[in-house]
């Protein structure tokens, strides 16, 4: 849902955004919407987060570690 509001800003700031809008051939409204969206994302903690787990690795290549010990994930779970 879009909402309208009144914004108070320094003239030189608005001039900067007007020049950006003119350079990009878009409206001042578009530039301001993008700026607000970016600021809101930053306050939320960033853009869309990945849907998979991430971790801080040891710096070793994960693919090589996995190939070196292929049974590691299943160790202790398999019974002969």
Q: Indicate whether 45 pLDDT > 70.
A: yes
Residue 3 CA to its chain's centroid (Å): 24
Q: Is residue 36 part of a domain?
A: yes
What domain count does the chain have? 1
The answer, as to whether pTM is greater than 0.75, is no
Position 20 scores a pLDDT of 94
Q: Is residue 67 part of a domain?
A: no
In this prediction, residue 79 has a pLDDT band, given cuts at 50, 70 and 90, of low
Answer for the pair 17, 31: CB distance below 8 angstroms, yes or no.
yes
Q: Is residue 55 part of a domain?
A: no
Residue 7 CA to its chain's centroid (Å): 26
Structural domain boundaries enclosing 33: 10-46
Position 68 scores a pLDDT of 73
Q: Is residue 41 part of a domain?
A: yes
Q: What is the mean pLDDT of residues 12-36?
A: 94
In this prediction, residue 41 has a pLDDT band, given cuts at 50, 70 and 90, of confident
């Amino acid at each position: 849902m879009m909402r309208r509001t009144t914004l108070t800003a320094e003239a030189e700031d608005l001039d900067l955004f007007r020049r950006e809008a003119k350079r990009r051939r878009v409206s001042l409204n578009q530039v301001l919407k993008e700026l607000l969206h970016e600021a809101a994302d930053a306050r939320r903690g960033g853009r869309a987060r990945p849907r998979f787990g991430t971790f801080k690795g040891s710096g070793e290549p994960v693919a090589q570690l996995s190939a070196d010990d292929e049974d590691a994930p299943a160790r202790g779970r398999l019974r002969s």
